[in-house]
Amino acid sequence: MFYRFSVMEKSLRAARLATFAYFVLNGFLLGMWIVHIPTVEEHTGISHAVLGWLLLLLGGGAFAGMQLVGPLADRFGSRKVVPLSAALCSAALLLPGLAADAWTLGPALFVFGFGNGCLDVSMNTHAVQVERGYGRPIMSAFHALFSIGGVIAALVGALTLSLGWSAATTLGAMAALGLVAAALASRALLPPESAPSKDATAAAAENGATEAVTEAVTENGTAGAAAGRRAPSRIWILAALAFMLMLSEGVANDWSVLHLKDVLDAPEATAAFAYGAFATAMTVGRLLTDRVAARIGTVAVVRYGSGVAAAGLTVATLAPAVPLALVGWTIFGIGLSGCVPQLFSAAGHADPGAAGANVSRVAGLGYLGMLAGPAVIGPMTHLMPLNLAFFLPVAFCAVACFTAPILRTGQPAEAPGVGPAPARQQA
């Protein structure tokens, strides 16, 4: 018995490391494109306005990929879909570097966005499966590794640009590296999971989770159609929360630097620290969130996290000086850091048989929120100062704070579907 669970634990650890690799790879590939945006823009001879429209194709491709790959992951298993998605995203990274004008850059960005969307949903679906095996929250750490991948891309991109490498050369080399990484990490991914066994249900009951397990089994279609009618509405509420919180995150990405520069008259070099403070706080917060969630629960993480985020953004909005504004953006990042991963996790655990489809719904609507940030805040600045427009994401964070109990069911600590976590405690 001990040997069997020891093997299972090693398999889970290997799968967790492999999933880490895919999150880093996704952040790295996306970061390499972002670093080379100015170079590609100059090479293709397009204006900022044209680039803005073409970036919508990248977002549209990502959304299409997310909606397509979710059901595919449920049907064929994320073990097959994740490596293929990573390979597609890696290969597509080369395409913008080869574009010669707007007509070739547009399709290149759509294909790259499509690959990015496929990888995003499939790796999150597999992360949910790994988290279910661990029986405790681990999702936020995966998202932190995505951010770290972006940091690595910034460092590599700065090096290659300083060496005078062309966009095609750099993106081609990184695409090849991504293909190798996608193939190597695929060996450790978990096979598709089966339905919870009676032994797993009994083990969960011994740990005080009988009622939650019964609810989880009911959600999987074994105890009537009523639960099947409830699940979609809950998933769409999670998706709406993802939209609001990721729009708030997008506001920080797109407007935090301009806030310090235009509202507080900070120099450009100083204004850049606004986004740096937010991004650093997000990364550190996600590295710590899993331990916090294991202690106080995922509902509390979203409730208090979004509340802290609302308070932090309010401080930044009303700050009369740059130092206080930086404190506000930092608090905003800390509060927001752990919220979205919990929504993805809740969507994936709500129905293990439809984890991919549910994650695609939540991730897809959340991604639209990220894209909507500039489109929503920009027009509002015609009616009010930029900092006052930030009260919209403050309100969204407040809504998430009061709606957090929607996460109460379907989390791994509340409805374990496998036996490794109890077994490890016994061993």
**Average of per-residue pLDDT across 391-416:** 78
Residue 309, pLDDT above cutoff 60: yes
**What CATH architecture does domain 2-188 belong to?**
Up-down Bundle (1.20)
Task: Give the C-alpha separation, 384 to 104, whole Å.
Answer: 39
The overall average pLDDT reported for the chain is 82
Task: Give the C-alpha separation, 222 to 198, whole Å.
Answer: 13
- Cβ neighbors of 284 (< 8 A, separation 6 or more) are 334, 337
Fold of 199-418: Growth Hormone; Chain: A; (1.20.1250)
Retrieve residue 136's tokens: 């405790």
* Region of poorest pLDDT, from 81-95, 111-125, 356-370: 356-370
Task: Give the C-alpha separation, 316 to 46, whole Å.
Answer: 35
Report yes or no: 71 and 119 within 8 Å, Cβ to Cβ. no
Task: Give the C-alpha separation, 360 to 203, whole Å.
Answer: 31
Give the pLDDT confidence score for residue 412 in this predicted structure. Answer: 52
Kindly indicate the confidence band of residue 374, based on its pLDDT and cuts at 50, 70 and 90.
low
Give the pLDDT confidence score for residue 373 in this predicted structure. Answer: 72
Task: Give the C-alpha separation, 133 to 110, whole Å.
Answer: 35
* Region of poorest pLDDT, from 101-115, 201-215, 341-355: 201-215
Question: In this predicted model, which residue has the larger pLDDT, 227 or 305?
Answer: 305
Q: Where are the domains of the chain?
A: 2-188, 199-418
Give the pLDDT confidence score for residue 20 in this predicted structure. Answer: 94
With CA atoms as reference, report the closest residue to 242 among 65, 133, 121, 116.
121
Most confident among 48-57, 260-269, 296-305 (mean pLDDT): 296-305
What share of the chain in percent tops pLDDT 70?
A: 84
Most confident among 153-157, 269-273, 302-306 (mean pLDDT): 302-306
CA geometry: angle at 10 spanning 7 and 16, to 5°? 140
Task: Give the C-alpha separation, 328 to 250, whole Å.
Answer: 16
**Average of per-residue pLDDT across 321-339:** 93
Question: In this predicted model, which residue has the larger pLDDT, 413 or 266?
Answer: 266
Query: CB-based burial of residue 161 (10 Å sphere; 0-12 exposed, 13-18 middle, 19+ buried)?
Result: middle
Q: 2-188 with 199-418: one CATH topology?
A: yes
Task: Give the C-alpha separation, 293 to 290, whole Å.
Answer: 5
Give the pLDDT confidence score for residue 213 in this predicted structure. Answer: 35
pTM of this prediction? 0.78
Residue 132, pLDDT above cutoff 90: no
Query: CB-based burial of residue 426 (10 Å sphere; 0-12 exposed, 13-18 middle, 19+ buried)?
Result: exposed
**Average of per-residue pLDDT across 368-378:** 77
Residue 108, pLDDT above cutoff 80: yes
Rounded to whole angstroms, what are the CA distances from 250 to 227, 291, 370, 390? 34, 26, 5, 11
pLDDT, tens digit, for every residue of 212-243?
333 443 444 433 333 344 446 888 899 999 99
**Average of per-residue pLDDT across 151-173:** 89
Kindly indicate the confidence band of residue 208, based on its pLDDT and cuts at 50, 70 and 90.
very low
* Region of poorest pLDDT, from 38-47, 75-84, 174-183, 237-246: 38-47
Task: Give the C-alpha separation, 308 to 306, whole Å.
Answer: 5
Give the pLDDT confidence score for residue 12 in this predicted structure. Answer: 87
Kindly indicate the confidence band of residue 84, based on its pLDDT and cuts at 50, 70 and 90.
very high
Task: Give the C-alpha separation, 120 to 360, whole Å.
Answer: 9
**Average of per-residue pLDDT across 404-415:** 64
> How many angstroms from the chain centroid is the CA of residue 236?
17
Question: In this predicted model, which residue has the larger pLDDT, 212 or 159?
Answer: 159
**Average of per-residue pLDDT across 239-251:** 91
